[in-house]
Structure 1
Amino acid sequence: MQPPPTMKDMPLRPAIQALSVFFLALAALPARGEYLASCPLPPESFWPKLRTLPPEVIEIEADYVEAIRSEHIHARGDVRLFTEGRRLDADLIDVFVPSQTVETQGHTRLFDGDLLVEAEAGRYRLEEDVGEFSDLDYWLRSRRARGSAEQAAQDGPGRIRLTSGSFTTCPEGDDSWLLTADRIRLDQDSGRGHGYDVTLRFKDTPIFYTPYINFPIDDRRQSGFLTPSLGYSSNNGLDVSVPWYWNIAPNYDATIAPRILSERGLMLESEWRYLRPSMDGILDLSYLPSDRLAEDEDRHMVRWRHRSSIRPGLTLRIDATDVSDQSYFQDFGTDVFTSSTPVVERRAELLYSQPNWRLTGRVQDFQSLDPTLPAASEPYRRLPQLLLQAGAGLKSGMFWDLRSELVRFDRRASLTGIRFDVEPEIGFRQDGGGYFVESRLSLRHTRYALDEAVPEAGRNLTRTLPRATFDAGLIFERGLDDGALQTLEPRIFYGYVPFRDQDDIPRFDTGEREFSFDSLFTTQRFIGADRVGDTHQLTTAVTSRVIDPNTGTERFNASAGQITYLDDRRVRLRPTDPPRRENRSELAAEGQARFSTSWQGRASLIFDTDRDRAPLAAVAVSYNPNKRALLNLGYRLREDEIEQTDISGFWPLNDRLRAIGRWNYSLRDSRNLELLAGLEYRSCCYGVQVALRRHLTDFDGEYNNSIFFQLTLDGLTRFDTGLDNLLREGISGYGTYEER
């Protein structure tokens, strides 16, 4: 055995790179999903060891190495060739220097740290980038993928042919799914691959075949069909969508999806995207002519989202939606939120931002989707609205803020007009190691110019009100026996706003703020400028936390507080409402706790101490013993409106099968709001999910029944009917605890 030589400047690197490029198309496939711990993986010893070498250095180890007149290098007997980041093993290697040809014989293995290729023999001409290798098996370490080919040939730079190729992410000996092709051509210059007689088999059953397919092999966007979707619901019947992606230009593209609804007809959905150096946007278009379930009415949806930078600091944003009818999202919405949307918005705004101030110009319109909402109760249009916000802090602890608005309100068959609102504010804040103090003083002036006179008030109305607040808190700390840190944080808040009669002022966009724990530390009882609530109040509250000193995370926190009113509150939302004469507010409390690594909970409560009842409550508990199991228990109460329980989660039945579900029940109405039940099977290389859903539609009180199905072939594609999004939205924590 001769000593292993170290050779520089030998023309072998292109040959090694040529073998790697055979499988660039497979390396560009999407990452695999969940992988079970029980699934077999190649042992570490399966992957050859690499060496760290300087660039352009090649090392050859073999039982015998011979250089013949500097024209022919011959190595045989356990040949191991190392370059930077690559290794080539073979029984025999010949390098013919004049013809720039490399030949391997016997068992050949190539490894680049991720791709391992085994072949029987190969021949490669370096200058022409032409060569052939036969009887290939390959493994992709990062994708847990493998496959084979009878022959791989390179016909020139970046042009590769594969014969009888296959691909799967299943472990050795398991071909649960397998993609095969009679011939494959790869062209790196165009970034495209071409497959002929392509078959996808699942459990030895062909589920997809095409005589020809064109697919990308790099990150360049290419036109072509995307994965179709299939579903069923009682609203639409069989629902099939086949999307096609159109790469119009490097900065323009579109997805066009014909959608067949067996009960309604043929629908065309599309998404158009554009991207420029100073702007970007998305245009969504959907059209269903002659809906058979809607008396042959045409149905459509248009949504335009646009953003552009006109100049530094100046931005234009547009978000506008229009639908053909009030039932559009109810019939075609894909989740609970979109199917129950009461209004859609059309908004365009121009923003000019500087370090200490921002000016916003906006026009805003709404389309009502609630058939029970009268025209006089629809939201007002803002045509237009101007907002100016400014503020700055000083080193002394002083700060100032300015909030102002000029807006015109418009609505059919309603009182309309212009409102001007401005509120300058000054304040002071100081934070110490165990305390903080903050005080604010502001003056709010509002003026109305109405199109029609208000009886006994006229068309021009004004209101000016001062506001003063003081906020302070202390932080006490102590150590617990287990090393944790506990805090006790008492806090007081004082606020004063005098009374002004506002019964003559119209209500354009103002509503009553829902009382919560945060309401304890504000004087604003209303959202909007049409009402400024009078108050003379003192809030006392306390917070306690338990903090892990090692991680800084909170194991537990709880807060509670109550407002004491020193005067009656005479300003109400409507003139007919009686004044509030209570001398104290409801008790507001909230908290969350991590009882252990598996148990955690959170709760919020509004408790009326005068009536000894809770008008508002929400409690949620989660049990997460491991990554594949989660159970959520929830309860929500809003007095005289809702009282619901919500149970959701997923639970393993064995190592590969788990149940998924959600049960949302209305105790107030004694009926189910949503039932979702399904099974999820996870193997080493694929996943199957099936779920049945029954949910209540908001406007007509009818139920919609749906069937969802999803098949995931790891590393290749996913056949989905929207089930994944439905589970992520309906089951809190779904997708967070997936095993990777």
Structure 2
Amino acid sequence: MDLLFVRKVCALTLLALASLANTGLAQAAPGIRIDEYPALQDSSLLQTAAGDKKNTVTFTDSAKADYDNNNSDITLRGLAQVRRTDAILKSDQIRYNTDSGEMTASGNTRFFKDGTLITGTGLNYNINTDSGKFFDPVFSLAGGGSGTASEAEALDENHTRLMDVIYSGCDCPEKFWTIQSPQVDIYDDENEGVAKNGVLYIKGVPVLWSPYLTFPVRAEKKTGFLTPTYGYTSRGGYDLAVPYFLNLAPNYDATITPRYLSKRGLLMGGEFRYLMPAYSGIASGTYINKDMETREKRWSYSVLHNHRLGQFMGLNFNLGLDWNGVSDDNYFRDFTSMGLNEADQTYLSKRATLSWSGYKYWNGYLMLQKYQTLQDDTLGRLYGQYEKVPELKVRGRRYNWNGFDVETDNTLTRFEFPTYFGDIVDLSRTDGHRAPDGTRFTSYNTISYPIVRPGWYVTPKAGLHVSHYSTDWYEEFGRYGFRSQAGTQKGSIDRVLPIFSLDSGMTFERSTTLFGKPSLQTLEPRLYYLNIPYKDQSDIPIYDTSISQFGFGSAFAENRYSGGWDRINNANLLTLGITSRWFDEDSGFERLSLQLAQRFYFEDQKVTLPGEQVRKRSKSDYLAGLSAALTDTLNTELAVQVDSADQNVVQSYASLRWKPKRLASVSMSYRYQQDPFLDERGNPLRYQLKGKETTSLSAQWPFTEKISGVGRIDYSIQDKRVTQSILGFEYKGNCCWTGRVVMQRYAVSKEKANSAIFLQLELSGLGSLGSDPMGLLRENVPGYESTTVPVPVKSTFERYE
């Protein structure tokens, strides 16, 4: 209901206050000279508003104009109008008394300002007292919507009262919905409107009533209730939230959200937003004193803060904070009402970063990174991951320095693994440590000389990587003890490795045809040579390093290990890649793209992660990719990685998307990835994600002119289960309304799932009632479009008279 009254106020406030109080007669009617009438020269009618309007020129016109010296009246008759650059007032007759300040417009009266048109049977207004009435106003707003009132009375320059108001944002001849109120008071200075006994009618049936409603006059923040949301989930039950917004100041505000879940109880939520000259952020949280299911207190919090600290010694300093926490492992599974993203979180970030930049070519940061591990008992116990307490990084970049590019990355990190005491089965260690802690320093310095010419490029690059490790292996208790890959416990280790690479490529073009259309085809070969000598690294601990999945991104990378630098592969290899593209000759649109790549190894693999099998082949897997716009409505993507020895598919991806028209789309995808790296026992390494095989089908389709369906299903072939399913229907009414029902079921753990249903009634020009599933549909259904066509913003000159 808020949007309704905002628009209503904008229209009628302009009518009763801005239009009349600021409308002057700087030029009298034809045939009348102002210098002949001294009373007019002193009249407040000639006084314009302060600010931007003080220099506004006012024009008048009419079929006949009279001035009565005895009564000090000026009268415009027949097509009378007062026109300024920002507003127009028309009427059959306009009369103004220079002594009393009374202005009267009678007959067919029209007022136009900023695209808003108001018509009525007349108006009386006193410029001296800033009071008056507009009779039987009918308004049509620039932003859409229209309404009527029996009268609009300006009680003073700040207070306007509207009587018997009927408003609708529906442009149909027969309004689907209206809002009616017997009295609406507008307080312009306070940006506040008060509607008494407002009732929402749908097809003439009252569905919502409010005895006292406040709303903002202008499109600004205003304290008050926001639109309630409601729905149902299988883990939370019936769900109703009624947010209350507090406009504390122009640059900070808060929202308090009581949320009742029938299976859980009352969950109180709050959010505080602030925007200061040097800092900004959002702090939010929730709390339930006693969950009816678990009988425990449950809570969550999140703090996002960005702070510009200013300059010191020529550097710009900034502070960033991203700190999150929940009361227990299942909080998101139980209280997430929409979508899969929050429900399957494993690690909550707790990060604070002090960064600096601005000193020539240098920048860096000091970061504290911790985590809260959210367990899923059905998947086995997680023991967390290494935390950085803290990490210091200093980076330097200088490009085109006499043709050279010079870079340096230097990082000092203290790694600590979360400790546990007594909550892990068969824990025989008494100190709670599950992994060794330690400190790592790395410095990688490179120099390259890019040679770029039309049609080709060559980039030689040389680098030196220096590392130092100081490790706390801890004492050994029972059968538990921490040792390196080599079985040692060296406390201090140094490593120095040179890295050489040569990257080169060419581009050829030719005119050809594709699908019978003139096209431009390119052929883009690329050669990448890499050389890194071997160094035994088996004494070095593993803090944050894992194996990169082989693909087009990693095929041209220096290190096959991602994350940190705990392992640097030995390399004497050549990567060959080739890309060919087809572009429409007229538009330049890329119609087809093909990619191929393979690595050739000139020496055996000697560096491995603990448990990783050594590569014994001289060639990598084949990589192939295809992206094609088969027609203007049909697109496909294919990617495959094939074992070069036994021709088995290691991983693959395929998708097909068809969008023949608006509100119609079908998308299918298939993804397969085997367990790429196994230990001696055939188990996936702990540094790797397990393999997967999944399919997905999503669609939006109109069944009739009014009814359309939308849905998605994700199926894990490997786990033999549906991980997510969405089914929804949308009904587009004849005019001004749309109804939606969306059902969703998604996995929140290996064995558990959550089901939810969302109902929404969208009233054009007013807003939506119920839970909003639009974000869910846009995120999960590729190509989804709302059945409601956005109303274009109207120009203020669209209905200019």
Q: Residue 441 of structure 1: SS of its match in structure 2?
A: strand
* TM-score of the aligned structures, taking structure 2 as reference length: 0.83
For residue 567 of structure 1, what is the aligned residue in structure 2?
Answer: 603
In structure 1, give the amino acid aligned to 2:739: V
Contact 1:16 1:110 in 2 (8 A): no
Q: Deviations over 1:557-590 (max 9, x none)?
A: 222111111111121111x333111211112223
In structure 1, what is the Cα distance between the partners aligned to 2:293 and 2:19?
Answer: 53
For residue 694 of structure 1, what is the aligned residue in structure 2?
Answer: 745
In structure 1, give the amino acid aligned to 2:507: I
Pair 739,616 (structure 1): closer, same or farther in 2 beyond 3 Å: farther
For residue 498 of structure 1, what is the aligned residue in structure 2?
Answer: 533
- Distance apart, 1:549 and its partner CA: 4.7
Contact 1:347 1:364 in 2 (8 A): yes
Q: Residue 688 of structure 1: SS of its match in structure 2?
A: strand
5 Å-filtered alignment, 1:453-464, equals: 454=483, 456-464=488-496
- Distance apart, 1:600 and its partner CA: 2.2
Pair 243,471 (structure 1): closer, same or farther in 2 beyond 3 Å: same
Please identify, of 598-607 and 341-350, the stretch whose mean Cα deviation from structure 2 is larger: 598-607
Pair 488,299 (structure 1): closer, same or farther in 2 beyond 3 Å: same
Contact 1:20 1:112 in 2 (8 A): no
For residue 717 of structure 2, what is the aligned residue in structure 1?
Answer: 667
Q: Deviations over 1:198-234 (max 9, x none)?
A: 1112232322211111111124422211111101011
Matched, 1:522 2:557: yes
Please identify, of 127-136 and 595-604, the stretch whose mean Cα deviation from structure 2 is larger: 595-604
Equivalent of 2:402 in 396, 405, 411: 396
For residue 428 of structure 1, what is the aligned residue in structure 2?
Answer: 449
Q: Residue 449 of structure 2: SS of its match in structure 1?
A: strand
Matched, 1:619 2:654: yes
Q: Residue 297 of structure 1: SS of its match in structure 2?
A: coil
For residue 337 of structure 1, what is the aligned residue in structure 2?
Answer: 341
Contact 2:60 2:80 in 1 (8 A): no
Unpaired runs of 5+ residues, structure 2, are 1-11, 21-54, 420-432, 475-482, 676-690, 791-801
For residue 362 of structure 2, what is the aligned residue in structure 1?
Answer: 357
In structure 2, give the amino acid aligned to 1:114: G
For residue 692 of structure 2, what is the aligned residue in structure 1?
Answer: 642
Contact 2:701 2:709 in 1 (8 A): yes
Pair 194,19 (structure 1): closer, same or farther in 2 beyond 3 Å: same
Q: Residue 775 of structure 2: SS of its match in structure 1?
A: helix
Equivalent of 1:713 in 758, 763, 779: 763
In structure 1, give the amino acid aligned to 2:327: S
Pair 126,549 (structure 1): closer, same or farther in 2 beyond 3 Å: farther
In structure 1, what is the Cα distance between the partners aligned to 2:144 and 2:665?
Answer: 28
- Distance apart, 1:485 and its partner CA: 2.0
Equivalent of 1:379 in 385, 394, 402: 385
In structure 2, what is the Cα distance between the partners aligned to 1:508 and 1:374?
Answer: 22
Q: Residue 329 of structure 1: SS of its match in structure 2?
A: helix
- Distance apart, 1:654 and its partner CA: 2.6
Equivalent of 1:444 in 453, 461, 465: 465
Q: What is the Cα-based RMSD across aligned positions, in Å?
A: 2.3
Equivalent of 2:736 in 676, 685, 705: 685
Contact 1:711 1:720 in 2 (8 A): yes
Contact 2:172 2:736 in 1 (8 A): no
- Distance apart, 1:197 and its partner CA: 0.8
Unpaired runs of 5+ residues, structure 1, are 1-14, 24-53
Matched, 1:242 2:274: no
For residue 298 of structure 1, what is the aligned residue in structure 2?
Answer: 297
In structure 2, give the amino acid aligned to 1:525: R
Pair 375,229 (structure 1): closer, same or farther in 2 beyond 3 Å: same
Q: Residue 221 of structure 1: SS of its match in structure 2?
A: coil
In structure 1, what is the Cα distance between the partners aligned to 2:787 and 2:356?
Answer: 42
- Distance apart, 1:377 and its partner CA: 4.2
For residue 89 of structure 1, what is the aligned residue in structure 2?
Answer: 90
For residue 98 of structure 1, what is the aligned residue in structure 2?
Answer: 99
Pair 514,21 (structure 1): closer, same or farther in 2 beyond 3 Å: farther
In structure 1, what is the Cα distance between the partners aligned to 2:355 and 2:788?
Answer: 41
In structure 2, give the amino acid aligned to 1:571: V
In structure 2, give the amino acid aligned to 1:151: E
In structure 2, what is the Cα distance between the partners aligned to 1:651 and 1:169?
Answer: 28
Pair 509,597 (structure 1): closer, same or farther in 2 beyond 3 Å: same
Contact 2:339 2:746 in 1 (8 A): no
In structure 1, what is the Cα distance between the partners aligned to 2:470 and 2:674?
Answer: 38
In structure 1, give the amino acid aligned to 2:306: R
* TM-score of the aligned structures, taking structure 1 as reference length: 0.89
- Distance apart, 1:525 and its partner CA: 0.6
- Distance apart, 1:98 and its partner CA: 2.5
Q: Percent identity?
A: 29
Q: Deviations over 1:110-144 (max 9, x none)?
A: 22251111111211112222110121211123x33
Contact 1:417 1:448 in 2 (8 A): yes
In structure 2, what is the Cα distance between the partners aligned to 1:127 and 1:134?
Answer: 20
- Distance apart, 1:736 and its partner CA: 8.2
- Distance apart, 1:81 and its partner CA: 4.1
Please identify, of 450-459 and 678-687, the stretch whose mean Cα deviation from structure 2 is larger: 450-459
Q: Deviations over 1:170-198 (max 9, x none)?
A: 12422211111110011111110011011
For residue 10 of structure 1, what is the aligned residue in structure 2?
Answer: none
5 Å-filtered alignment, 1:129-278, equals: 129-141=130-142, 143-278=143-278
Equivalent of 1:535 in 571, 576, 580: 571
Contact 2:62 2:78 in 1 (8 A): no
Please identify, of 174-183 and 66-75, the stretch whose mean Cα deviation from structure 2 is larger: 66-75
Pair 435,737 (structure 1): closer, same or farther in 2 beyond 3 Å: farther
In structure 2, give the amino acid aligned to 1:557: S
In structure 1, what is the Cα distance between the partners aligned to 2:383 and 2:639?
Answer: 31
In structure 1, give the amino acid aligned to 2:122: A
In structure 2, what is the Cα distance between the partners aligned to 1:457 and 1:599?
Answer: 59
In structure 1, give the amino acid aligned to 2:353: E
Q: Deviations over 1:546-565 (max 9, x none)?
A: 22455443222222111111
